[in-house]
Structures are given as structure tokens and as C-alpha cells.
A = this chain, B = another copy of it.
Amino acid sequence: MNDEAPIRVYLVDDHALFRSGVRAELDRGDGRTPVVEVIGEAGSVDEAVAGIGHLVPDVVLLDVHLPGGGGAEILRRARAAGTESVFLALSVSDAGEDVISVIRAGARGYVTKTISGRDLADAVRRVRVGDAVFSPRLAGFVLDAFSDRPGAAPPVDPEVDQLTKRERDVLRLLARGYAYKEIAGELFISVKTVETHVSSVLRKTQTSNRHELSRWATDRRLV
């Protein structure tokens, strides 16, 4: 599996301490031949885009949450500048929206920061050769979200755009904690009609009550 030359990695995270940790763990190579080499790092969006364009790394390790745009922003700008680097997201967050946004932007994998140095090196090697790498907790989630779209990333979730306009109206108010009666008053329809819409929304989103639905909606930023 050794291609002689080590994999050249660029590291983006706003915490210098964390960058230092990744560098220490990866460069050490776990006592064996260093298959991974950190050739540069950045702590901000602008710095990262410039560094990637300049150094042309094989793999970019990308933090999701950064001041001034986030990892997805870096990915889009680097792609727009014509980079061919492969991107692997590395984040503390396991929130669905974070995973979705960065994968949609084009990352080839997403691992959480709980990962060990050895596993991280292995993940880097795997995305380098084309694998998609996900932390175990996220794998199921990602498969669900992209199961019926093998090709490019869709603009919105399949579940969201199968809601009708009126259903979205009801959903918006519902997620804000409105009672059926209040929703009816707001939309100038009867309570019974509200019930019908709510019922459809719950069925389509595969949630069972308004609390789950609220979480579902906020995860997708519909509120």
C-alpha cells in the first residue's frame, strides 16, 4: 500500500493546539514509515484557500467550524480556484446539518475529533485512494441522506421538497410552537384543515409528534 512518496496533507483548524496535535500524531506515523506528511496548515478561511492553491496538497484536513465562513466555504472557494485536492472533514460536531453541508460542498469523508492518530492516518490514506470515510456514528446518517441520489449533491433534502407549499406554511408555524388553533387563525383556514396538513407533514417527514418535527425542521434550518 506504500506509494513510496508520503501523502501530502494540508491542515485547517482555528485551534493552533489542535493543529499541533494532528501534526504530531500524523508525522510520527506510529513508529513506522511516515505515510502521511503535513506540508502546511491554516487557521482561517483566507489563509487556507491561499495555502491550498499554493502548496497543492493531496489531502486537506478540514475543520467544519471556522470564523469567517466554515469548512464548506473553503472547499467551494478552493474548488472554484481549480484545486484537485481531496477534502476530509475533521470536526467535533456530529450534527446532521454540519455533515450535510460539508459533504454537499464536496468533502470525501467526515470523521470526528475523537478519532485516534492511527485511525486518522488511515482515513487520510483511504480518501486519498478514493474511499469515502465516515465515523461509525455518522455512516448510517449519511447513507440515509444520500441513498437515492448516487450522483451529484441535490440542492435540498428529498423530504423537504416533497412537502407542498401549504404544508410548509403549517410546518413553519408548528415548529415555532403555535397551537393548531393559532395556525388556523394565521392562515385563515379551519382547525380541521390544519390537522390534515400536520398529518401529512408528520407522515412525509417520518416523525411522530411536533417535538420530533421541531428538531427535524431546525436541523434543516426551516425555522
Contact = CB atoms under 8 A, between A and B. Distances in A.
- Size class of the A contact interface (CB-based, 8 Å): 20 to 34
B25 A20 contact: yes
Interface in A66-118: 92, 113-117
B212 A113 contact: no
A203 interface: no
A211 B116 contact: no
Contact of A17 (B21, B179, B215): B21
A14 interface: yes
Contacts of A179: 209
Task: Among A25, A211, A212, find the residue whose CB has the most chain B CB atoms closer than 10 A.
Answer: A211
A192 interface: no
A177 B211 contact: yes
A1 to B, nearest CB: 23
A120 B17 contact: yes
A23 B25 CA distance: 11
Nearest to A15: B113
Question: Which 6 residue pairs spanning A and B have beta carbons closest together?
Answer: A21-B21, A177-B211, A20-B21, A17-B21, A24-B24, A20-B24
Given A16-B117, A17-B21, 20 more contacts: A15-B18, A15-B21, A15-B92, A15-B114, A16-B21, A16-B25, A16-B116, A17-B18, A17-B115, A17-B120, A18-B21, A18-B113, A20-B20, A20-B21, A20-B24, A20-B25, A20-B117, A21-B22, A21-B23, A177-B212
